[in-house]
Structure 1
Amino acid sequence: MRSITFHSLSLADYDISPDRGFLPPDPCDHLPDCDTLNQLGRELPKLLSARMVRRFIDEQRSLLPSVPSDWRDEDYRAAMRILSFAGHAYVWEVPEQPAVTLPPQLARPWYEVAQRLGRPPVLSYASYALDNWRRLDRTKPVQLDNIVLLQNFLGGLDEEWFVVVHIQIERQAGPGLAGLRRAMNGAMEGKDDEVVQGLQALAAAQAAMRDTLRRMKERCDPYVYYTRVRPYIHGWKNNPSLPNGLTYEGVAAHGGQPRQFRGETGAQSSIVPCLDAGLGISHAPDPLTVYLQEMREYMPPRHRAFLHALESQIDDRGRPLLSGYVRDRKSHRPELWTAYGACVDLLAQFREIHIGYADSYIHRQHQTHTSNPTAVGTGGTPFMVYLQKHLDETRQMLSQQD
C-alpha cells in the first residue's frame, strides 16, 4: 500500500472567498488615466447599435499607449473586460461580415493585458461575468436585486439578466466551496463529523444555485438571447465564419499569423469542474471532456490551480479522496453516504436544468433561424449529446458498487 501525503486546502491561497466563491471583491468600474478606453467601454452599446465600433477604434491612434506595470490586479482585470468586449464588438459588429484582422491599437494592449492575467486575448467567462458587476447599494449583499453589469454589448433586460444570473450562482457557490473544502479536509484527518457538516453546507449552496438557475427564463427570452446576445460572444476557433481565426495586428509574438481562440462560455466557470473533482465524478473520454480540459486555459490561473489541487487528492487505493472515504464508511456511517449522495443528486439536477436551457436557448433556436448558424456552444463545440452523457455519468455515481 502506497503512502499518501495530503495537504489541507485553503480557499484564500486560490483567490476564492467563502462568501463570494470565485467572484473577486467589487470589480473596478473604470481605469486610471485611460480616458479613451473608459469612453469606449461606456459608449460601446451605442456604438455597436449604430455599427460605429470599428470606425471609432480605427480612428484612434491608441486605446492604451502602454500597459502600466504598477496597476493593481483589479485594474488589469478591468482593462481586460473593456478590451475583450471591444474586441468582440469589433469582430462581430456586422455578424455576416466578421472582421478577420484587429488593428494594432486594439490588438497590442489586449494581448499584453491578457499575458499579465495568464489568459488568452479573447472574451472569456472571467471578463464576461466574474469581473463584470457592481452593487447598486454597496451596503447590501451581492444578490439578484442588487447587481448590474459594468459592461454590455447592446444592453437590455435579456442580456443583463443572462449574465447576472451567472454572477449570482458564482456568489452562492462560495459557501459551497467552503463546505467542500471542509469535507475534504475532514476526510484527510479522519473526522467524520467534519465531512458530514461540510457536505451539508455544500448541498445547501447547491440548492440555492439550482434555484437561481431555474430563474433564467424570467427575464431572458430564448429568441432574444439567440439573436441579440449570443452572436457577440462567439470566438474564432471551430467557427465557420472565421475558418482561419483572427489576426492580431502588431502583436510580434504571433508573427503575423492568425490565432484561434474559443468563445465565451459558462464551461469556463470553475464551479462545476470543481464539484466534479471534489465529489470524485469522472467522465469517460469524449469530445466534451477534451473541450472542457481546454476550457481551463481560459480560467484565471489560481482558479485553475484550485481545480488541479482538488483532483490531486487521491487516497491510497488511487481513488478520489472524498468519494472513497464516504464509500468505505457507507455501512457503518450511513449519514456520510446520505450527505454525499445529496450533493451528487443536486449536481445532477443542475446539469439537467442546464441541458434544458441548451435545448431551448440554442438547439431549438438554431432549427428556426438562419442567423448565428452554428449548432454548437459558443465555445465552438457540439454539445447536446455529450451534456446528456455527463448527466448520466453523474447519476451513475450513486449506483456504482463499492
Structure 2
Amino acid sequence: MELILLIIYSVIVWLIFFKFKLLPWNITSQVIVVTIPVFALTVLILFMNIVAPSSHDVRAMNYVIPIVPRVTGQVTEVPIEPNRPIKKGDVLFKIDPVPFKEAVNAAEAKLAELKVGLITAQAYQRGLDDELKNAQSVTQSIVARLDLAKKRVEQYTSLAAAGAGRRAEQEQAESDVANLQSQIAGAQANESKIKQKIEARTEAGEIDEVAQAKAQIAKAEADLVAAKYDLDGTTHLAPANGRVANLALRPGVRSTQFATMPVMSFIEEDDPWVLAFFKQNELRNVEPGNEAEIFLKMYPGRIIKCKVDSILWATAQGQMPISGNLPNTLPVEMPEQRIAVRLLVEPKDKELFLAAGARGGGAIYTEKGKMIHIVRKVFVRVSTKLDWFVFKLH
C-alpha cells in the first residue's frame, strides 16, 4: 500500500513540476517533495495502527478431545480412517461386548430373584396380623388347659391325702402343669416376637424383611443400570463432527479406561477458535462486535470476514502461584506477552474449513478513524495476494 501511495504521489509531482511546470524544481521544492511523503506516511501508519490495528499472527485452533474408553476390553473393530471427515454419532471403535452382555444377564437374573423375595416378604407382612391372632389363640388355649390341670392336681392331692387316690396320678398331674407352663412361656415368647415385628415397622409401614428386600432390589437395579452403561460403552461414538489424527488403534489391542491413556485424539471442527495476537497498546479501542478481516496462508487471496467476540485479558505473566514461596523475579526482564483476541467467522465463511494450526494475518476495524480504514483494507488485500508466491529455492 505504501508503494501504491508513493506511485500516486510521484505521478502528482511529475505533473506539477515537469509536465505542466506549475512550480519551479529547485532545492526548496525538492526538500519539500521528499519530506511530505515521509512525514505523511509516518503519521498515517502510526494513526492507522491505533484505529485499525493489524496482526501478523492469526491462528485457527480447534478443540482436541482425548478419546478414553468407558470400559476396559479388547478392540474388535475400528471402522474409521485417519484424517478423514467424521460425522457426529459415527462409530469410532468397538470393544468385545460378550463379558458385558453376561454381566447384564446376571444383573437381570439377580433382580428377578430379589423381586420374588420381595413378594414373599410382602405376603409374610400381610400374614403377620393373622399369625398374631393365631399365637394369641394358642396361648389362651394353653392357659385354659393349665387351669384345668391345676384343678386336677388339687383333686389328686386331696384324694391322695384321704387315701382314696394314687400318688402316681398326683405326680402325673403336677408334671402336666409344669409342661403346660413351659408351653405357655414358648407361646408368649412367639407372640411377643410377632408383636415386635409389627411394632418395628418403618415410616412407610413396612417390616424389616420388606424394607431389606426393597433395598436389595434398589441396589440390583443400580447394578443393572451400571452393567447396561458398560455394555453401551463397548461402542464408542464420535462426540462431534471432526476427524481423528494419527490413528494407531487397531483390532486386537486391549484398551483401558484410564484417563491418562487415551486411545486416539479427536479434532472437533464444529466450533473452531480464531485468535489474533496483538501488542497490548494496540487494543485500546478494540471492542466486542468490531469488524475484522483475516487471511490465511492456506487460502491465498481470500479475505475472511469476522467479528470480534472477546479479548482474552490474561497471559501467563499475569499468573502468580498462590503458595508460601516468594515469587521468582528473574534478573532479566521478560518480553511483553501479546494479548489474544477471539474472532468469530461471519456466516458467509462459516462453512470454510479451517485446519487446526492454520496461520495468517488480519486487522480489526474499530469505531474510530473510519476514514482511513480503507487504507488498512488495501494493506490486508495486498498482503494476502503475496501468499500466492512460495519463496523457496528447492
Same fold by TM-score greater than 0.5:
no
Q: Given the two structures, how large is their TM-score scaled by the length of structure 2?
A: 0.17
**Per chain length, whose mean CA-contact separation is higher, i.e. which structure has more relative contact order (CA < 8 Å, sep 6+)?**
2
Q: Which has the larger radius of gyration?
A: 2
Report the structure, 1 or 2, having the larger helix content. Answer: 1
Report the structure, 1 or 2, having the larger strand content. Answer: 2
